Amino acid sequence: MASSTTFMAIVTITVLALCFGSSYAQLSTTYYSKSCPNVFKAIRSVVQSAISNEPRMGASLLRLHFHDCFVNGCDGSILLDDTSSFTGEKNAVPNRNSVRGFNVVDDIKSAVEKLCPKVVSCADILAIAARDSVAILEGPTWNVKLGRRDARNASQGTADSNIPPPTSNLTNLISSFRAQGLSAKDMVALSGSHTIGKARCTTFRPRIYNETNIDKSFAKTRQENCPKKTGSGDNNLAPLDVQTPTSFDNNYYKNLINLKGLLHSDQVLFNGGSADAQVKKYTYSPDTFFVDFAAAMIKMGDNKPLTGSEGEIRKKCRMVN
């Protein structure tokens, strides 16, 4: 593995190249340098506390950013609550009983509002919290581009159609990510986020009982806490990475090589297809994975942000002003 200094230099170069190459010139890594210079410290403090209390929260915050960006861009729409006159995205199929961490986002917003009222968007909070979560769990770090504004609307239907389900095959995954301006390479790198976090039995039951490209001992172990009958133990949890579920590393890819991918959409990355070579590369070059992951996160964060006078800066992330 390269030295930490060399590695961070590589990440920095990658970040700078992406920043200058972005079509969203309004986004900037120094966006809050004058209007809210302590925003990073405030957010990091809340995220660190939340992860210390529950390591899984890092994966949850990272996932919120993913699910936000895949629905009409990175605009904080996933945070909006349903009301009698408004339907948000929280009850979309990929999100219902699944996405979490909203209370932590509320805590972050409260802390930031005390420092800089009506300045920092909820969409930017998600982007920063995702980066901090990865870094705190021993993964890479990167300079987050900022300046997004918050949406006044949401789309449950778009969430249902755009966020790839755990039953996706490789072609589905490539198409879903391409629709968000992300390449197949980006998709494989971003899938590495499953090196942290947990999944519910209902999302991996078909794989552990019906599929053959799975380590038998691994399947048997997962079956112990995930009954075959639908409706029984649906919400029981299992780690997405059986080796180091609370450390952001490259063991996710090693699991795939060993046929221990928990979700169907995980194992399709190493199943005799076009992604096999990239998976193999990440197993022996964690630095390459880290650089590619950071670059893909920046690229995803550039997905159709609201900037300038578009949208708003919400006072509370759960509701429009």
Q: Is the pLDDT of residue 3 over 90?
A: no
Cα–Cα dist 81/91, whole Å? 9
Which segments are annotated as binding site for substrate? Answer: 164
Closest C-alpha among 315, 310, 305, 320 to residue 82: 320
Query: Burial level of 321, CB count in 10 A (0-12/13-18/19+)?
Result: exposed
Which segments are annotated as binding site for heme b? Answer: 194
Q: Is the pLDDT of residue 19 over 70?
A: no
Average pLDDT, the chain: 93
Q: Is the pLDDT of residue 5 over 60?
A: no
Which DSSP letter does residue 78 get?
G
Q: Is the pLDDT of residue 11 over 70?
A: no
**Residue boundaries of the structural domains of the chain:** 38-164, 170-299
Q: Dump pLDDT digits (tens) for 65-118.
A: 999 999 999 999 999 999 999 999 999 999 999 999 999 999 999 999 999 999
Contact 261, 253 (CB under 8 A): no
- 40 pLDDT band, cuts 50/70/90, is very high
Residue 264 a catalytic site member: no
> 38-164: which CATH number, 1.10.520.10, 1.10.645.10, 3.40.50.620, 3.40.1260.10?
1.10.520.10
Catalytic residue among 67, 90, 207, 264: 67
> 170-299: which CATH number, 1.10.760.10, 1.20.1250.20, 1.10.10.10, 1.10.420.10?
1.10.420.10
- 26 pLDDT band, cuts 50/70/90, is confident
What mean pLDDT comes out for the span 291-296? 98
Which segments are annotated as binding site? Answer: 68, 71, 73, 75, 77, 89, 164, 194-195, 241, 244, 249
Residue 99: phi and psi, rounded to 5, are -70, 145
- 20 pLDDT band, cuts 50/70/90, is very low
Q: Dump pLDDT digits (tens) for 119-139.
A: 999 999 999 999 999 999 999
